[in-house]
Amino acid sequence: MLKGPTGCGKTRFVEYMAWKLGRPLVTVACHDDLTTADLVGRYLIVGDDTVWLDGPLTAAVRAGAICYLDEIVEARKDTTVVIHPLTDSRRALPVEKRGEYLVAPPDFMLVISYNPGYQSVLKEMKPSTRQRFVAIDFDYPAPEVEAQIVAHEGGVDAATAQKLVKLGGLTRKLKGAGLDEGAGTRLLVHAAQLIARGMAPAAACIAAIARPLADEPDTRDALDDLIAAVF
């Protein structure tokens, strides 16, 4: 279970882990309409026949892949329970419609991620789901590391990257004072990419950082002031 603010590198971490371990990665973006059949699989009618199509979870179990359920809290609780037998000592996925009991190979891994902090009460994970995972807390990287990431991913020089990281840090202080969350590394990379393509830094920061973060006039002004102070 990877917990942390948006755009701090959770998905990137899973992608890197899959690459490093040489395992296939199956990512599912969870949403409220996601059904058990979407995860496990369903029969489809093809001409006069019915054919079974594995869902991403079943396919990942068969392949011994890493299955990554992104934003798990968005899925309905009755959907999430399908992972219960897979994530306890049974390590198996019952595929009821096929009468199949699929035991996961040792290589199979299940990773879930979510952003704690601003979920509504309706969108909490059941304790019985949470307590099946080992958790890693994610946070924004240290400023020097984040500047390297922004320079590398955004294609800007070190000095510009450092300014963007400084701005990011200032927006994070507005958390709770107008913002649910400050600018993640992702937004800093977006601003850097605009700058690298020739946009003036202040304009790039307004377009890529300030406007996506806030609608409320006072908060927008506060962000614009921060940008003016840094660039």
Ligand X SMILES: Nc1ncnc2c1ncn2[C@@H]1O[C@H](COP(=O)(O)OP(=O)(O)OP(=O)(O)O)[C@@H](O)[C@H]1O
Span near Mg ion by CB under 5 A; candidates 3-11, 31-39, 127-135, 197-205: 3-11
Judged by CB under 6 A, which of 10, 80, 125, 165 binds ligand X? Answer: 10
Q: How far apart are CA 167 and CA 143, in angstroms?
A: 11
Burial class (CB in 10 A: 0-12, 13-18, 19+), 125: buried
If one asks whether residue 123 binds ligand X (CB under 6 A), the answer comes out as: no
What does the block give as tokens for 136?
A: 């890693």
Show the tokens assigned to 85.
């037998």
Positions 140 through 159 that interact with ligand X (CB under 6 A): 141, 149, 153
Q: Tell me whether residue 186 or residue 220 sits nearer to Mg ion (CB atom).
A: 186
What is the number of other CB atoms lying within 10 angstroms of the CB of residue 57? 25
Strand partners, 86: none
Task: Determine, following the binding rule CB under 6 A, whether residue 80 of this chain makes contact with ligand X.
Answer: no
**Distance between CA 115 and CA 32 in Å, rounded?**
16
Residue tagged 């952003």 (tokens): 115
Tell the smallest beta-carbon distance from residue 125 to Mg ion (Å): 16
Q: Minimum distance between the CB of residue 221 and ligand X, rounded to whole angstroms?
A: 26
User: According to the binding rule CB under 5 A, does residue 11 interact with Mg ion?
Assistant: yes
Contacts with Mg ion, residue ranges (CB under 5 A): 10-11
Contacts with ligand X, residue ranges (CB under 6 A): 4, 6-12, 115, 141, 149, 153, 185-186, 189
